[in-house]
Amino acid sequence: MALKIVKGSIDRMFDKNLQDLVRGIRNHKEDEAKYISTCIDEIKQELKQDNIAVKANAVCKLTYLQMLGYDVSWAAFNIVEVMSSSKFTYKRIGYLAASQCFHENTDVIMLTTNQIRKDLSSPNQYDTGVALTGLSCFVTPDLARDLANDIMTLMSHTKPYIRKKAVLIMYKVFLKYPESLRPAFPRLKEKLEDPDPGVQSAAVNVICELARRNPKNYLSLAPLFFKLMTSSTNNWVLIKIIKLFGALTPLEPRLGKKLIEPLTNLIHSTSAMSLLYECVNTVIAVLISLSSGMPNHSASIQLCVQKLRILIEDSDQNLKYLGLLAMSKILKTHPKSVQSHKDLILQCLDDKDESIRLRALDLLYGMVSKKNLMEIVKKLMIHVDKAEGTTYRDELLTKIIDICSQSNYQYITNFEWYISILVELTRLEGTRHGHLIASQMLDVAIRVKAIRVFAVAQMATLLDNAHLLTGNMQRNGICEVLYAAAWICGEFSEHLENPVQTLEAMLRPKVATLPGHIQAVYVQNAAKLFATILKNQEGNTDSTAAQETSQMMIDRLPLFVQSANLEVQERASCILQLVKYIQKLQQKDVEVAEEVSALFAGELNPVAPKAQKKVPVPEGLDLDAWINEPPSESESEDEQPKAIFTKEEPKHSRPRHTEVDEKELARRREARKQEQANNPFYIKASPSSQKVYQEAPGVEHIPVVQIDLSVPLKVPATTPSHPTGLPMSDQYVKLEEERRQKERAEKKKKEKKKRKEKRSGRGKKHDSGPESEEDITPAHVVDIVTEEMPENALPSDDDDKDPNDPHKALDIDLDKPLADSEKLPVRSHRAAGAPKSSAEDGEAENATPQEPKKKSSKEKRDKKKDKERDRKRSKEEKKKKKHKHEEKEEDLLGGQAEEPVVQSEETKEVEAQPTSTSAEVSDLDFWLSNAPVPSNTQEAATVAEAAPAPEAPAGTAADSEPEEPKDTETEESKSSKHKKKKQKKEKEEKEKKKKKKHHHHHHHSDGGGEESVQNGTVEEEEPLPPMSNYCLLAENSYIKMMMEDADQVCDIQGNLQDGSQVVVSVIFENKSDSFLKSMEFNVLDSLNSKLQRPEGSGPHDGLTVPFQLPPGVSNEARFVFTVQSIVMPQKLKGTLTFIVKNEDSSTHEKLDFKLHFTCTSYLITTPCYSDAFAKLLESGDLKSSSVRLEGVNMPFHHLLARICFHHHFSVVERIDSCASMYSRSIQGHHVCLLVKTSGQTVSIDAKCDEPTLLGNVLDEIKQTFSQC
C-alpha cells in the first residue's frame, strides 16, 4: 500500500498541473486546439487512476478548460468523486468545478445529496462554507427539498461565516423549492437582527430579493426595515433597504409619507454618492405613489431634481448617467420639473458617451409638448445624420417615432410634417427598423383621415423610387417601408393623382427582388389600383385606356406567377385570371368597373392590440379540448406547410442585422455610390429622394443635386416661397410656425376686441407670455379613428405577466400562520409514507427509492465505482442514523422554540400565531398611522433572541387594550400567550421537568436563594427564551430537594388596571407517589401587602387551593395581593398545608415559604415610543441615579435581553453599545434607563419620579448580573 502511494506521487511528478497546462497552451499558440485535445486525453487518463490527488489535479485543469469553452460535462462523475474527498484541498477543487459546470440537467447531481449533507454538517466550518458556495451555484429542486432543513439549521450556526452563507443560499432554495419559504421565513426574519453585520446584511439582501418580486407579502416587515434604516450605518444594507422601500411604497402610500423625512435627511447628510442616489430614487418612487399633492411635496421634488442636476453636471460620467436615469423616473409624474432642465438634457445629447446619449434620449421622450415637438425632432434628425454606428442611429430612429406617436399622437399638430419625417427616415442606410416606420405610416394613414391625400401622394413617390430602397436588400430592413407604401396606395387609391403611373411602378420587374411578403402586398394592391383605374377610365368615352391598363396587368403579372413565394404566386395567378376575364368583357364593351371595385369595397378599420385576447371565451367552450383526437405521430410532417404562412413575417422582422465597423461601412458606401452612378434610374429619380444627399458630405453628389432644385412634393400652395435647401420636413416646420403665428395674431386680435369690451371690468389681464399648450390647435381638424374593440371585450389588462417567472411561485402569504403540514422535509420524509416515529425503519427503506435508478444505469458501466459508492452510502447511512438520534435528543431538549421539525412545539406555534398575525397587521397600520404605537414590536425581537419574533406584537397589542378583566377565563381570549399558558401549562411543566434533567445549568435569578417564590414572568410578555424558563425552574429544583412531596413555582405579576394589586401564580407539582388534597395557601399579611381573601373570611384564614393533585401532576393557582406602597421590596411569610393520602394512611403536611415581592415585580413592561421617551426625559420631573456593573461578560444584546426579561423593561432605542429602556410601575411611575457598555463595564443611568423605587430596582438589576 505504502509502495503504491510512493509510486503514485512519483507518477505525479510527470503530470501537468494547472500552471503547466496554462504555460503549454501559451506556448502552442499556433495549434492550440490540437494541444488542448492531447491535454484532454491526458486528463482522461489521470481521471482513471485511483489516486484522488491526481484526479483533483485533473479536475482543476478541466475547470480551466471549461473557461476556454470546452465541454467538460463528461467528467461530471469524476468531479463528484473529487467533491467527496475528505481533504479540504481536493474538496474545494471539486466544488469549484461543480459550480462552474453543473446545472439543473446534470444527472449526477442526484448523487451529491448525501455528500453535500455530510459537508454541511462537517465540524470544519470551511468544509461547510465550500459546500454552501458550491451548492448556491447548482442547487436543483431536488437538492433544495432534501437539504432545506439542513441549511435552515445552519442559519443558527455559531460561526457568523456559516450563518451568512446559509442565509444567502436560502434565497436559491426558495427559488427552487417554494414550499420552504414559509417554514423558513421566521428564522430568516430573525437574522435581520443578527449581531454580526455580515449576517444581517445577508438577510437584508435575501429579503430584498424576495420582496422585489412580490412586494405585497413583505409589507408587514416595513416597520422592521424602517428601524434598520434609521439605525444602520452600513451603506450596503442601507442601499438595499432603501431600494426595497422603493418597491414597497407603491403598495402603501402611507409608508411613503413616513419615509420622506428620513430620506430627505439622508440626502442632505450622506457623503456617499451611491446612497444619495438610491435615496433620491426612492423619494421619487414615493412621490410617484402619492398622487395627491401634499404641501411640501414640491419641495421634495425640487430637492431631487436639484440634486440630480448636480449629478448630471458632474464631470464623472457615471454620475451623469445615473442622474439622467433617475431624472427619467421623475419625468413620468412631474414632467414640469424636468422640463426646466431641457437645456442640460439637450446638451447631453452631444455627449461623446453613447450610454449617456441614450439616457438623454429617454428623457426627451417625456419632455416634448405640442410646442417643442418639431424643434426637438428636428434636432434629433440632425443627430441621425451625424450618428456613427448603426445601433445608436437605430435607437435615435425608434426614439423619434416613440416621441411622435406617444399617447395617440397627442403632440403632433401637423401630420403632413410627420409623414414627411417618416419619409425622410426611410433614407437611413442599413436600419433594421423599417417595419417600425412602415407600421407608423400605415397607422397614420388609416387613422388620420384628413392626411390620406397627402400620405398617398408621398407613398406614390416612395414606390416610384423603390429601387433606391432595394439597393442591397439582404441587409436593408428599410424595404419594409414599401409594404406600407404599396398598401396605402392601393387601399386609398381614389386619392392618387396619377394612378396609372403608380400601377406601373408597382409592377416593375425589379419588384420581384423584394421579400415575398412585400411582393404579395404589391400584387394585391395592384389589383385594387387596377379597380380604381378602371372606374376612372370607364367614365371616359375612350375605352382603349382601360384596355391598355388591363393589358399591362396581363403583361406584368406572369412575373409574379412564377414567384417562388407561395403567397405571391397564388395571389398573382388568381388576379391574372381575373384580369384576363375582365379584358374579355372589356373587349365586348361590357362595363365591369363597378363589379371589380366591389371586390375591394368596404373600409378596413384598425383593431386594438390584444383585441382578440380580450374576447371572453364563451361558456361551455373548452379551447384545450381536441376537436378531433389527433392520430398518431405519422401526420406530424403535414404540419410543415402551415409554418410557411405563419412564420413568414417574423422571419423578416427579426433583427438580422450584424454590427458593421467603420471600414466596412465606408466600403459599402463606396460600393453604393458606384452602383448609383451606374444605375440608369438614378438620375431620373424624383428629386425628393436626392434631397437627403444635399446634407451628406461627398462632393460627387453636388452636381446631381443641383440638376433639380424644385421642391419635391406638393407643399400647400399658400406658401410659395420657401428656402429650397431645407429638407422637406423643415419646410413644414416653417409652415407650421407661420400658421401658428397667424393664429396667435388672430387670437390676439380677438382678445383685444374682447378686452376693449371688457375694459371697464376687472382691469388688465396678463398677456399670456409664451403660448401655452392649449393655444396650439392642430393644422387641420384631425380625425383620429380610434381602434376597434370587439363588442364584449374584457377590460382587464392583466395578461402581461410571464407565466415562467420563477418568482411567481414565491408569491406566498407569509403572515398566515404555519399549518401543521408545512414544514421542511426531514430526511425520513423521503420514504413516502414512512411514519415519522419509526424513523429507523424509514431510513432503511429510504435509501433505496432514490438511488436504484441511478444505480442500474451505471452498474453496467462501472462496477468498481458502484462498489465504492455502496461503501460510501452505507457509511453515510450509519451517520444518518446517528444523526437522527441526535436530532431526537434535541427534540427532547427542546432545541429552538421555533424548530419546525419539532412537532410538539409546532402545534403550539400554530395555536399561538393566529392572534399574533392579526396583531401584526394592525400593528403595521398603527405604525403607519403615526399613532403613539408600542414601539417595542421590533425590540421584542432583539430582546428575546430565541423568541419567535412574530408573536411579540401579540403581547403588546393586548397590553394596550385598556380593560383587562380579572377573570382569567376571558383573559384567555385576549392574549395568545395566556391561552397557551393556560392550556399547556401542565404539559409544559412536565416537559420542562424532563428537560431540566438534562440542563443542570445554574442561572441567576433575582429571588433569594431559599425562597420558594420566583419573580420573573409577566404573563402578557412575549414568550421568553426557553433557557430562561428553565432557569426559573432550575432554581426551584433546589427547593425540590428540600421538600419531598410538593413543589411550587410562582410568578408575581403586577396588575395593570388596579394600581395596588399584584397577582401571584403558583404552580404546584406533586413529586411524590401519594395523592395530595385539601391544600391551603396562607400568608401572614403585612401592613403593606395583604392577600385578598373572599368576603367573610378572617384576616388569618388560608385560601383553599381549588384542586387536588394526583401523583406527578402539577397545576397552577393564582392569588391576588393588595399592595399599598411599591417603592420597597417586600417579603411575606407563608405556609402551605395539605394532606398526603396514601393507600393506608393520610398525613397532614406543612410547607413554609417566603414570598419575595421585588420592586421589579411591580414594574410592567410598557412599550414607549422614542419621541415620548425624549419628552419624558426633558420634562425634568425625574430624579436620576446611576449604577456601574463590573465584569459583565456577555454580549450587549444579551444584557439587554436580561434586563428586559427579568426586570420588565422594553428597549426604546438602541444605538451600537448604548440603549435606552423604559418601564412603568403598576402605580404609574416612569422608569427610564440608559445602558451603556464598554468592555466589561456596564453603566446604567436611570431616571424615575420615585427615587426609592429606582434605587431598589437598580440594586436588583445589579444583583441579577452579579449572579451570572
Partner 1 sequence: MIKAILIFNNHGKPRLIRFYQYFHQAAQDTSYCKAEDMQQQIIRETFHLVSKRDDNVCNFLEGGSLIGGSDYKLIYRHYATLYFVFCVDSSESELGILDLIQVFVETLDKCFENVCELDLIFHMDKVHYILQEVVMGGMVLETNMNEIVAQVEVQNRMEKSEGGLSAAPARAVSAVKNMNLPEIPRNINIGDINIKVPSLSPF
- For partner 1, the binding residues in 11-40 under the rule CB under 8 A are 12-15, 17-20, 22-23, 26
Nearest in space to 48 (alpha carbons), one of 25, 6, 15, 71: 15
Member of 35, 77, 161, 681 binding partner 1 (CB under 8 A): 161
Q: Contact at 8 Å (CB) between 178 and 166?
A: no
Q: Which stretch binds partner 1 (CB under 8 A): 126-134, 258-266, 451-459, 885-893?
A: 126-134
Binding-residue pattern over the window 1232 to 1251 for partner 1, x denoting contact by CB under 8 A:
--------------------
Cβ pair 201, 168 in contact under 8 A? no
Closest approach, Cβ 353 to partner 1, in A, equals 4
Is 228 within 8 Å of 204 (Cβ atoms)?
yes
- Judged by CB under 8 A, the residue of 40, 47, 62, 90 near partner 1 is 90
**303-362 binders of partner 1 (CB under 8 A):** 316-322, 352-356, 358
DSSP-assigned letters across all residues of 400-412: HHHHHHHHHHTT-
Question: Which residue, 133 or 333, is less far from partner 1 as judged by CB?
Answer: 133
Among the listed residues 39, 96, 552, 902, the single contact to partner 1 using CB under 8 A: 96
Q: Shortest distance, CB of residue 664 to partner 1, whole angstroms?
A: 14
Q: Which is nearer to partner 1, 129 or 894 (CB)?
A: 129
Shortest Cβ distance from residue 210 to partner 1 (Å)?
11
Nearer to partner 1, 162 or 421 (CB): 162
For the bound state, the minimum distance from the C-beta of residue 214 to partner 1, rounded and expressed in Å, comes to 13
164 part of the interface to partner 1, by CB under 8 A: yes
CA dist 945 and 1202 (Å) reads 11
Of the residues 40, 56, 98, 943, which one makes contact with partner 1 according to CB under 8 A: 56
**In the complex with partner 1, which residue's Cβ is closer, 90 or 177?**
90
- Within 8 A by CB and 6+ apart from 45, the residues are none
The smaller minimum CB distance to partner 1, of residues 23 and 748, is found at 23
Q: What letter does residue 809 receive in the DSSP assignment?
A: G
Expressed in angstroms, the distance from the first to the final Cα of the chain is 56
Q: Which of 171, 454, 483, 492 binds partner 1 (CB under 8 A)?
A: 171
Residue 1226 CA to residue 1121 CA, distance in Å, equals 13
Q: Interface with partner 1 by CB under 8 A: which range of 128-136, 364-372, 587-595, 945-953? A: 128-136
Cell of 726: 431645407
- 373-386 helix and 342-349 helix, angle to the nearest 10 degrees: 20
Q: Please tell me whether residue 74 binds partner 1 under the rule CB under 8 A.
A: no
Per-residue mark of binding to partner 1, 266-285 (x: CB under 8 A): -----xxxxx-xx-------
Q: How far is CA 514 from CA 470, 481, 517, 556, 568, in A?
A: 7, 11, 8, 16, 11
Q: Which residue in 451, 521, 454, 535 sits closest to 491, CA to CA?
A: 521
Q: In the complex, what is the shortest distance from the CB of residue 56 to partner 1, in angstroms, rounded to a whole number?
A: 6
Q: How far is the CB of 9 from partner 1 (least distance, A)?
A: 6
Q: Note whether 10 binds partner 1 by CB under 8 A.
A: yes
Q: How far apart are CA 415 and CA 448, in angstroms?
A: 8
Binding residue (CB under 8 A) for partner 1 from 39, 120, 132, 527: 132
Residue 401 contacts residue 436 (beta carbons within 8 Å): yes
**Pick from 103, 610, 748, 759: which binds partner 1 (CB under 8 A)?**
103
Q: In the bound complex, what is the minimum distance in angstroms from residue 250's beta carbon to partner 1?
A: 15
Among the candidate windows 65-73, 580-588, 893-901, 1219-1227, which touches partner 1 by CB under 8 A? 65-73
Segment near partner 1 (CB under 8 A), from 161-169, 445-453, 727-735, 854-862?
161-169
Q: Any alpha helices (H) in 894-975, and if so which ranges?
A: 903-928, 936-943, 952-960, 968-974
Contacts (CB under 8 A) with partner 1, residues 176-205: 198, 201-202, 205
How far is 339 from 1143, CA to CA, in rounded Å? 97
* Of 206 and 448, CB closest to partner 1: 206
C-beta separation of 437 from 456 below 8 A: no
Using CB under 8 A, pick the residue from 28, 44, 157, 212 that binds partner 1: 212
C-beta closer to partner 1: residue 20 or 494? 20
CA 214 to chain centre: 6
Nearest to 1236 by CA among 1224, 1247, 1221: 1221
Question: Binding partner 1 by CB under 8 A: which of 172, 823, 980, 1197?
Answer: 172
Considering only residues 1091 to 1110 of the shown chain, the ones binding partner 1 according to CB under 8 A are: none
Closest CB to partner 1 among 353 and 1152?
353
Q: x/- contact string, 229-258, with partner 1 (CB under 8 A)?
A: ----xxxx--x---x---------------
Strand partners, 1053: 1063
Which 925-964 residues touch partner 1, going by CB under 8 A? Answer: none
The 10 Å Cβ neighbour count of residue 543 is: 14
Min separation Cβ 200 and partner 1, Å: 12
- Rule CB under 8 A: is residue 69 a binding residue for partner 1? yes
Dist CA 953 CA 959 (whole Å) = 9
Residue 925 to residue 620: CA distance in whole angstroms: 44
- Tally the residues of the chain: 1268
SS3 content of the chain, % helix, strand, coil (to 5): 60, 10, 30
Site string for partner 1, 635-674 (x = CB under 8 A): ------------------------x---------------
DSSP letters, 659-723, are ---HHHHHHHHHHHHHHHHH-HHHHHS-HHHHHHHHHS--TTHHHHHHH--S--S---TT-----
CB of 651 to partner 1, least distance (A): 13
Query: Which among 97-105, 793-801, 884-892, 1140-1148 is the span making contact with partner 1, rule CB under 8 A?
Result: 97-105
**By CB under 8 A, what part of segment 692-751 binds partner 1?**
none
- Which span sits near partner 1 by CB under 8 A: 54-62, 738-746, 748-756, 1208-1216? 54-62
Cβ closer to partner 1: 132 or 733?
Answer: 132
Q: Are strands 1146-1157 and 1114-1123 parallel, antiparallel or unpaired?
A: unpaired
* Residue among 148, 168, 181, 279 that touches partner 1 (CB under 8 A): 168
Interface with partner 1 includes 52 (CB under 8 A)?
no
- What is the 8-class DSSP label of residue 1091? E
d(CA 312, CA 325): 10
Q: Which of 639, 1108, 850 is nearest to 145 (CA)?
A: 850
DSSP single-letter state for residue 478: G
For residues 509-548, which are near partner 1 according to CB under 8 A?
Answer: none
**Is 71 a binder of partner 1 (CB under 8 A)?**
yes
Interface with partner 1 in residues 359-388 (CB under 8 A): none
Please state the closest distance from residue 28 (CB atom) to partner 1, in A.
15
Q: Does 209 bind partner 1 (CB under 8 A)?
A: yes
* Alpha-carbon gap, residue 588 to 501, rounded angstroms: 26
Touching partner 1, residues 134-153 (CB under 8 A): 136-137
Instruction: Provide the H-helix boundaries in 431-492.
Output: 434-447, 452-464, 466-469, 480-491
**For residues 854-873, which are near partner 1 according to CB under 8 A?**
none
Residue-wise burial string across 1072-1109, b where 16 or more C-beta atoms lie within 10 A, e elsewhere? bebbbeebebbbebeebbbbebeeeeeeeebbebeebb
Greatest extent of the chain over all pairs of C-alpha atoms, in Å: 140
Q: Which of 70, 682, 693, 1038 binds partner 1 (CB under 8 A)?
A: 70
Which residue bears the cell 415637438?
Answer: 373
Size of the site for partner 1 (CB under 8 A): 84
> Is the separation of the CB atoms in 954 and 976 below 8 Å?
yes
